[in-house]
A and B are shown apart, each in its own frame.
Chain A
C-alpha cells in the first residue's frame, strides 16, 4: 500500500492564481481531512469528509474548496491564492473518523508571492 500520497511536494504561486492540491489514499478510509501547518500554530483543520459525496468545513475553510467524488481522492482547491495561504498542507485519512489513527500524507509546501 502507498498509504496517503500528496502532489505536488512543492509549489510556488503568484497572488490571485488558483491551483489544486491532490490527495489520494489506498486504504479504503472513509474519513479524509486537510490541514495547514504554520509555525507555532500546530495543525488547523481546513475541510474534512466522512465519505464520498460528503464534505464539511473545519476551523479555517475560507479561500479553499474541496470535493469527494470517490473514496480514494480528496483534492483541495485554492480559489485565488493569497500570501496568507503560504503554509505546509497535510492531507490525512483514517478508518474511523477522529477516534482512530490519522495517517498523514508527506505534505505540500506552498509559497504564495
Chain B
C-alpha cells in the first residue's frame, strides 16, 4: 500500500525567510497530493493541492511542486509570517482507485520573530 514520509518533523525559520517541507510517496499510481495546515488546538484545513498532471501550483505565498519521477512533492512558503506557525501535513491519494488518503506525520513550522 501507499506510504508517505514527511521531512523535517520540525522546522524553525526566521520571519520573512522561506520554508520548504518535503514529502515522498511510494505508490506511483498516486495522483492527488493535498497539503493541510493545523493550528494548535484546531482542525486541519486544506491550504493547497496538486494533481499529477501538473508540476507546480501557486497561491500567493504558498506553492507546491511535484516530481513524479522521484515520487516527491514539496510545500514552499515564502516571506513567512507569524501566522504561518502551525503543523503542516501532506497526503497522497490514488484517485478513483480507492478512497483513502495516506498522510505524512506532519511538520511543525516555527516562525521566529
What is B's interface to A at a CB cutoff of 8 Å?
A: 6, 9, 32, 34, 36, 42-46, 49, 89, 91, 93, 95-96, 98-106
Contacts and interface: CB of A to CB of B under 8 A. Distances in A.
A43 B36 CA distance: 11
Contacts, number: 56
B100 A48 contact: yes
A74 interface: no
Interface in A35-89: 40-45, 48, 50, 56, 58-59
Interface residues of A, number: 22
A45 B43 contact: no
Contact of A43 (B9, B42, B44, B49): B44
B22 to A, nearest CB: 15
A43 B43 contact: no
Contacts of A34: none
Contacts of B101: 43, 45, 98, 102
B70 to A, nearest CB: 21
Contacts of A99: 32, 93, 95-96
B89 A42 contact: yes
Given A43-B44, A104-B43, A48 B99 contact: yes
